Structure 1
């Protein structure tokens, strides 16, 4: 009895098909007419490059438009797949024309490679957006990741992947009792990357929920999002390594030595990170507070786990390590109450009406829009100076982050106008020098005549 015919598996059939395709390509390479295939493929790639350039110019022209997130996602995704898709379309058009005269095995191989490139680029871009968008660390390595994944798929398409895996598996080494190979390490890295991307995606979902939570302090939201992301990444790594057969206990000795080295070498950085969490948790410094640290004074514009950004009134931003904020005196002018007192000093002459001068100063200050009514402005006689009487005006403002130079200048200018109008003088330093006794005008004796006296009048 004859045995029933069996159908070969689909994977084996595909491998056999690509093996035959590679053999045909190898034969074509020995034929001068293969230059027609190479030229046609280069022409398709050149046309795809022109299409990519036009798409980039078109999308760059509309970059400043206020468009929805879905439209921005579509534009960015199109820029990533337009080159392989355009090349694939050109190859599909050129292939039947060239097939009438020559073999097209090289173009047959280019079609799955270009198609897989388009799919992989779009998938990696989608994963990047889901994991954190433009601010994600994945953004800087998107092309690298896409290229690595496409290389693996290309090796599988041409049928060389098993040989590459065997070569990588042959390179082995031992860490303790655990025997590792280069292929196992690469598998572990790929699995860690995959689980970390999933963790970042979950962290992004939780972060949006936390940010949308009403009634929660901004610092507490920042702490929760960062702790959640860090914990999910650690859990992802702990799950990924055992999945590929790497025993975590064998890495304990290496991890301990690395931890000791990092403890000595990176203790400052670790202290900054711990201080950052302390600042975020105790809420002693918040975004928008006006603080003074040493010689730096400005508004807190950003708080990270390692440093805090303070923007001064002149626009210069200072990056202050969090350890400095925790270990030194910080003047927070808007911690619990944004009202601060603004002193203004003015000197008048001894001959003026002091009470009237104080009335004018209080009246002018109370009319300014930034000066608070309660507590009300008050004027005081501070002390008696060499050239005049020193008066001090005390007023309160509720927006010190807007700066004090503008309001001080406006009040001084108006006080000067009112004083000038009512004849109240503002003195300036003066000195009167008198020379007492006889000073000889020229060398000689008393018989030459009486000595002359020299006197100096007021001098400024």
Structure 2
């Protein structure tokens, strides 16, 4: 640790001297009156909050507010006492300035009003940061800085932090440099996240840009923004990044072997975005998984199935495996439905009735031909294949098959068409003898019965 040649003791002594001067001045009559004015403003703010909070609640209930507006209304209601204190405190400052003989009594009142105003503004601005931990760090850090600045202790604090340092050869890291880097990186990351979120929302709603291209632009933009924020934060500490080139190369080689799968998924994700093979909203089948793509990530693709399960499929599997994209080039999907009827039924009539039954289902397209073909003569039935088209595979395939099957059942039942099932007939020829020795033994009346 480097304490800058003992200056830290002098700095602490200077800070303590200022605190002593401030505390000694508090016992003066004018300062006591100012404390009274501050206490009165706080009491009025507290009573005003008790009276005004129910009215704010009633005003919010009478209006149809969006979720964001409701959150801000709740936030302002929680800070209603602070708002009222600021109004009363600055009103007191105005009265003291306008009253002869009391102008010098305004110092502490101005300080209290300024501090509360700054604290309130910091709390409201910090709400723009979504991450709770990051928001808390920024809020408390800004509150401490505002308090030290308006109390006149910030310069001595900076000198104290600069005097506390760690040295590695010619490289020196001060506590103030680390603190400045953390604050700057946090601010830049928050700004990058806000810009990224706003831009992503606009790109995803832009119909002129394909979903795959918008996702690619969003990923590249996020990498650039977050990378720039971290780079600037590291530079703020004083790191010489050029000296880390050799070390980063060695680390890169090691990570290349250890994180081969991760890198493969990242590269596969970029390829998917570039070749536009899949995009959010597409209906795909991969093995036993059937669903629609919810989002494209850097490492995986989120696929939501009809039963509400969300599968995170690695990007590499989508590149190397066989994927059925039901809506890649167009939304038309053909479904084949096999069935059979009895040999006694007219196949010409069966084909006509099957087409009419399929066309009666709402999801089956009427502008594309629905056909029915004889595919073979089975052991118990004449086999048919019914083909029809839909344009909404995201609504499910099993349910539309079930609807068409029900339509076939009702139509065939109304027209006397039978759907056969395997049957076996055992015929005993004349002159044959049964082997009585292998017949089941009969039990006497007194023998025990099996359950």
Bin the TM-score by the shorter chain: 0.7 to 0.9
Residue 3 of structure 1: aligned partner: none
Greater shift in the superposed pair: 409-418 or 49-58: 49-58
Query: How well do the aligned residues superpose, as a CA RMSD in angstroms?
Result: 4.4
Q: TM-score, normalised by structure 2?
A: 0.73
Alpha carbons of structure 1 residues 236 and 40: separation in structure 2 relative to 1, 3 Å? same
SS of corresponding position for 2:436: coil
Alpha carbons of structure 1 residues 266 and 168: separation in structure 2 relative to 1, 3 Å? farther
Alpha carbons of structure 1 residues 329 and 147: separation in structure 2 relative to 1, 3 Å? same
Residue 83 of structure 2: aligned partner: 85
Q: Give the Cα separation in 1 of the matches to 2:421 and 2:132.
A: 64
Determine if contact 2:177/2:236 at 8 Å carries over to the other structure. no
Residue 118 of structure 1: aligned partner: 120
2:167 pairs with 1:177? no
Q: Give the Cα separation in 2 of the matches to 1:342 and 1:396.
A: 6
Counterpart selection for 2:381 from 364, 380, 388: 388
Q: Give the Cα separation in 2 of the matches to 1:402 and 1:246.
A: 55
Determine if contact 1:366/1:376 at 8 Å carries over to the other structure. no
Q: Give the Cα separation in 2 of the matches to 1:347 and 1:296.
A: 29
SS of corresponding position for 2:65: coil
Q: Give the Cα separation in 2 of the matches to 1:282 and 1:110.
A: 61
Residue 287 of structure 1: aligned partner: 280
Within 5 Å, which residues of 2 pair with 1:111-260?
111-125=113-127, 128=128, 137=130, 141-175=134-168, 177-199=170-192, 210=203, 215-242=208-235, 245-252=238-245, 255=248, 259=252
2:308 pairs with 1:315? yes
Q: Once the 2 structures are TM-superposed, how far is the Cα of residue 328 of structure 1 from its aligned partner?
A: 2.0
SS of corresponding position for 1:376: coil
Cα deviation, 1:370-398, whole Å, max 9, x if unaligned, reads 33346522222233334333322122222
Alpha carbons of structure 1 residues 178 and 83: separation in structure 2 relative to 1, 3 Å? farther
Q: Once the 2 structures are TM-superposed, how far is the Cα of residue 232 of structure 1 from its aligned partner?
A: 3.1
Q: Give the Cα separation in 2 of the matches to 1:53 and 1:321.
A: 51
Q: Larger relative contact order (C-alpha < 8 A, sep ≥ 6)?
A: 2
Cα deviation, 1:396-435, whole Å, max 9, x if unaligned, reads 2222222233332332223222322322222233333457
Residue 317 of structure 2: aligned partner: 324
Q: Give the Cα separation in 2 of the matches to 1:351 and 1:55.
A: 81
Q: Give the Cα separation in 1 of the matches to 2:399 and 2:207.
A: 37
Q: Give the Cα separation in 2 of the matches to 1:174 and 1:112.
A: 39
SS of corresponding position for 1:381: strand
Cα deviation, 1:75-121, whole Å, max 9, x if unaligned, reads 4773575343234446678999xxx9xx9998775433212101222
Spell out structure 1 runs of 4+ moving beyond 6 A: 16-19, 32-42, 92-96, 103-108, 441-444
Determine if contact 1:292/1:298 at 8 Å carries over to the other structure. yes
For structure 1, the residue ranges without an aligned partner over 5 or more in a row are: 1-15, 129-135, 445-460
Residues paired across the two proteins, number? 411
Q: Give the Cα separation in 1 of the matches to 2:242 and 2:355.
A: 76
Q: Give the Cα separation in 2 of the matches to 1:51 and 1:432.
A: 91
Residue 436 of structure 2: aligned partner: 439
Q: Give the Cα separation in 2 of the matches to 1:62 and 1:318.
A: 43
